[in-house]
Every structure is written in structure tokens, then in C-alpha cells.
Chain A
Amino acid sequence: MSAPDTRLRITGAAATSAKYLSLVIGVLVTIIPLSVLFIASFKTSGEFGQSGPFDLPANWFNFANYVEAFQKGGMVEGFVNTTLILAFSLVGTILIGTMAAYAIDRFRFRGKKLVVGLFLVATLIPGVTSQVATFQIINGLGLYNSMAALVLLFMGTDIISIYIFIQFMQSIPTSIDEAAMLDGANRWTIYWRVILPLLRPAIATVVIVKGIAIYNEFYLPFLYWPSHGTISTSLFRFKGPFGAHWEIIAAGTILVIIPTLIAFVFLQRFIYRGLASGSVK
């Protein structure tokens, strides 16, 4: 073997190890902050005070902190409320979004350009700051401090899902509508019996992308529903009473992350796809 050939092979091997080394570093930087919290969540209060963050817990089956977080930290209420909000908002978003997409993609009507323009411009308005004025509307409707306020806001501020529905609907041939129409179906029947079932893949994408966003939303429940807890606001309130008890805060945090992890492991494909269609708007 000639000299340059060997050198090439050596640099190749070095490059490969450098590649895997940097990937491993990336994985460590991602995982360490999470795993030290996981470790802490199994320690007793006394144990936590005496041990360092990397010292493993004496008993991996010490679930006392999780029980405490669930019972005293209001995590049960948080999970129940977030589940209800998710269910109502997702059903609403899907119905409202698919209907709007159906109208925009399948009809010609006066003012269509205006409507599309309104949806587009709305994506530019930063969500959080406009709450200064949205608050007054919600308050005026008498919905302040209610779950309904959140459901309404989650349904009403979703333009991305309408966009995903339109994109998908464009791939459904209009000849299907026409055939149904020749069979005597009216527009509502076509929407309900033909289009909506065919939109299932797009609905799955919206449910997952929007579901994660609602699950993670913090400021809206914090502002509009102060008397009750969702996942985010219940966890946020750990700051007060458990301020000195990191082992309990850790358990609460892990409880909030686990459903996300499970959803990610099982729904990866949909999540990546939703990202590709949703975020490059």
C-alpha cells in the first residue's frame, strides 16, 4: 500500500471518530440536564441535601416525591384540565379549520382574496403581546377565569392548521366532489362524508402538532385561568410551596416530560412531517 493511501485512510478514520465523538457530546449535553433531575426525583429530602447531583439515589423505587407532586402539587387537576382543554380545542380546531379550508379550496366566491389575506397577515401579529388587548375582549365576553376562554383562544388563533388542511386538500382531486355531486349530494354532505374522511392524514398531523403546542402552552392559562391549574401552570406553582424541595420539583418536572417523551417515541414520523409542513410557513 502506498503512503498517501494510508494517510487517506487514517484521516478517514479520524474524521469518523471525530464525528461520533461530537454526536456523543451533543447527546450528553442534551441528556445530562434531564437525567440529573431524574436522579434527584428519587431521593429523600435528607438524602438530597447531603448528596451531589450525580450521586445516585439510595432507592430507585422511592416514589414518595411523585406521590407528593401528584397529591399536593395539583398535578392531577393539571392533567385532567389539560386533557379536557386538548379534547375541546382539537375538535373545534379540526372542524373550524377543515370547513374553512374546504371553502377556500373548493369554492369561488367574492372576497376570497381578502379572507386569505386576513389569515396571512394574522400570522405576523406576535401572540403574547397582543394579549394586552385580547384580555379585554375575553373579559368583556365574561369568560375571564374559565376553561372556555382557553378553548376559544386555542381554536381561534390557529392559522397553521388551516394552512395544513388546504395543502392536503389540494391533493384530493375535485373529480371526487363532482362525482358525489352527480349522485345528488349537497355541499355539506360532500364535506362531511367525502372530504373530512379523506383529510385523515392531515388531521393526524394537526392533532399532533397542535396537541403538543397546547400541552406546552404556559402564558394563556397563566393569564386567563388563574384559579385553576393546567399542566404548565400547576408545575409553575411548584416554585412557591416547594421552593426548597428540589426533589419534589424534580418529580413534578419529570411527570410533565414523560407524556411528551412517550408521544415522541410513538409518533416521531408524524411530528417530523408536521414540522416540515407547519413551521416553514
Chain B
Amino acid sequence: MVAVTSAVPRTPRRRGRRGSQSGVPAGRGALAKLTPYLFLLAAVGLLLLLTYLPAANMLWYSLTDWDGLDLDKDFVGVDNYVEVFTNPQIFSVFGVSLYYFVGSFAQMAIALYFAALLSYKTRFSNFFRGVLFFPYLINGVAIGFVFLYLFQPGGTLDTVLSWVGLSDPPLWLGDPDVANYSLAATSVWRYTGLNFVLFLGAIQSIPGELYEAAEIDGANRWQQFWALTFPGIRRIIGLSFILAIAGSLSVFEIPFIMTGGANGTSTFVIQTLQTAFSFRQVGLASAMAIVLLAIVLIVTFVQRKLFPDEKVDLT
């Protein structure tokens, strides 16, 4: 069989001629019709079981006062949703997302800066690219410990600051006024590498002749950046921007691992999980999850409207 493959010339594919029409001897009709479904069975089965069934259940739980254990679930209508929007303790944690949202702007700016730098001929460019990207691959718990250590009172950061004469640093994670900045900065450190590599890839896919032509026309590097590079990467920037909104609404790992949500660093996702698994209010937690899902769907919808060509094409 495999011998055949190498002998066949690489002809362009003909979309029309496949499936059961492609000239196989018929006779296994029913089975042939079933074949694609058999190939899909596992994937679609798991998708329904682990994604859609929970989503549907969640919608139902959100209308009840279920505690996750009881056999009976009392229908309470939209009470849980009213609670989500009116209880200041629940909804106000969305404010924490702002720190991460602002952080993701810094992250994109830094990523863009380094991507622009490395898009020009650079010595050791592979090394620089690798180092800047590597944090994105590190285990989240490990990153949590790296920065818990860095932010320790009298730790690395305080030592570095004392070198430049700043001798009275705050408690980076203990002071509620500062903790969210520290966590957002950790998040920037973790994710800048991803944006950087995506931006760099987009810049490098801009044809080099365009730059040569611009050079001949006397454009300097700054002008080249705004006239050529920026338009070439506008789409990936737009996409990163949307992902930044969705990402900052659903921040979870870094604050959960580093502070457990203490000192005013709790996020909406941390609260949802605590409500479900610590306080056993599955009904309320489901309503919170549905609210987050709705917001993410709206953001995605806006993205599709603004950047229609980013649409996923699976077929």
C-alpha cells in the first residue's frame, strides 16, 4: 500500500470525486454510509459528554439552588443571576481583571518592540528569540514559585531596588494596594513570549522586496515600520487584543497559585470555583460560569465582526 503512495504523482486534489462515489466496488452500502460516523464516534462522543452535556447541565443548575450533593434541586428561577449582578462581592472582582487587561497592553507593546528589533538582521537572533519566548513554556506552578521568591520581603526584587537606592519597598504580595500589580507583572513576564513570537512570525512573512523598495525610495526605518510592518501585522495585533480581553476576564492560575486569591487578588474564575467546590453552591457558581461564558461569547462575536477574515475554517 505504502509503495503505491510514492509512485502516485502529486496531482492537485479533486474535491468532487470522493466518498463512496469514487469507484469502489459497491455492495457494502449500509456499512459504507456508516463509515464516516464510525470514524467520528469517539471524538464527537467525548465532545458531547465533556463539553456540551456539562454546558447544558450548567444552564439547568444555574436556575436551581443545588449544593452539588442533594438528590433534589429546587428551581429558583433567575435568583442566582440576580445574586451575581447585585452582590457586590461577586461582581466587583471583575475589577481585578483591569490590572491584567492593562498588563496585556504592556505585554503587547514589549512583544511588538522586540519583534520589530529582531526582524532586522541581528547577531545571536536565535538565542534572543529563544530566551524571550521560553517563559511561555514554563509550568505555571513553577512560575508561581519563581515569582513568590522574587517578591519575598528582602528578596531578589528588594535587593535590586536597594542597589539603586530604593530602600523602602512595599510588601509586593502582602499589600492589597500592590498585590494585583505584582501578579499582573508576573502574567506579563509569562505571556510576552507568545505574543512576541506570533508578531515576529507575522513580520517575517512580509516580503523582503517591499523593504528593499522602501529603502531605495529613501524611507528610514521608522517610516518603514509604520508604512510596511504595522499594516502587515495589524490583524494579529487585533486578534491578540481580543484574546487579551477574554484572557484578562478569565485569569486564574497565577493568582490562585501565588496568593490563593488573598489580599484582594481574587478573580472571577477563582470565585466561581470557590463557590462551587468550597462553599458548595453549585447553582450560584453555574450562574457565574454562564455569565462569564456569555461575556466571552460577546467578545468573540465582536472580534468576528471586526476581523472577519480571522474566521476559523475547518473544512
User: A60-77: which residues lie under 8 A (CB-CB) from chain B?
Assistant: none
A276 to B123, CA, bound (A): 24
Chain B residues with CB under 8 Å of A187's CB are: 32, 35, 39
A178 with B139: CB separation less than 8 A = no
Q: Is the CB of B130 within 8 A of A193?
A: no
- Do A256 and B139 form a contact, CB below 8 Å, given A119-B314, A136-B68, A219-B253? yes
Interface: A203 (CB within 8 A): no
Number of B positions contacting A (CB below 8 A): 105
Return chain B residues, CB-CB under 8 Å to A225. none
User: What is the number of residues of chain A that contact chain B, defined by CB distance less than 8 Å?
Assistant: 114
Cβ distance A263 to chain B, nearest Cβ, rounded Å: 8
Q: Which residue of chain B is the closest to A182 with respect to CB atoms?
A: B23
Please provide the chain B residues from 251 to 271 with a CB less than 8 Å away from any CB of chain A in the complex: 252-253, 256-257, 269
Query: Please, which residues of chain A bring their CB within 8 A of the CB of B236?
Result: 280
- Inter-chain contacts of B114 with A (CB < 8 A): 22-23, 26
A residues near B159, Cβ cutoff 8 Å: 52-54
Nearest to B7 among chain A residues (CB) is A179
For residue A91, give the distance in angstroms from its CB to the closest CB of chain B. 12
In the bound assembly, the distance between CA atoms of A182 and B22 in angstroms comes to 9
Closest Cβ neighbor of A215 among chain B residues: B139
Minimum Cβ distance to chain A for residue B136 (Å): 9
A191 interfacial contact with B, CB 8 Å: yes
Interchain CB contact (< 8 A) of A253 among B50, B61, B146: B146
Pair B36/A103 contact, Cβ less than 8 Å: yes
- Bound: A163/B33 CA distance, A: 24
Of the residues B43, B118, B155, B312, contact of A99 by C-beta under 8 Å: B43
Q: Is B102 an interface residue (CB 8 A)?
A: no
In the complex, which residues 108-130 of chain A have their Cβ closer than 8 Å to any Cβ of chain B? Answer: 108-109, 112, 115-116, 118-120, 122-126, 128-130
Given pairs A153-B50, A187-B39, A249-B145, 9 additional interface contacts (CB within 8 A):
A22-B117, A118-B47, A132-B276, A133-B289, A173-B13, A183-B1, A187-B32, A257-B138, A272-B197
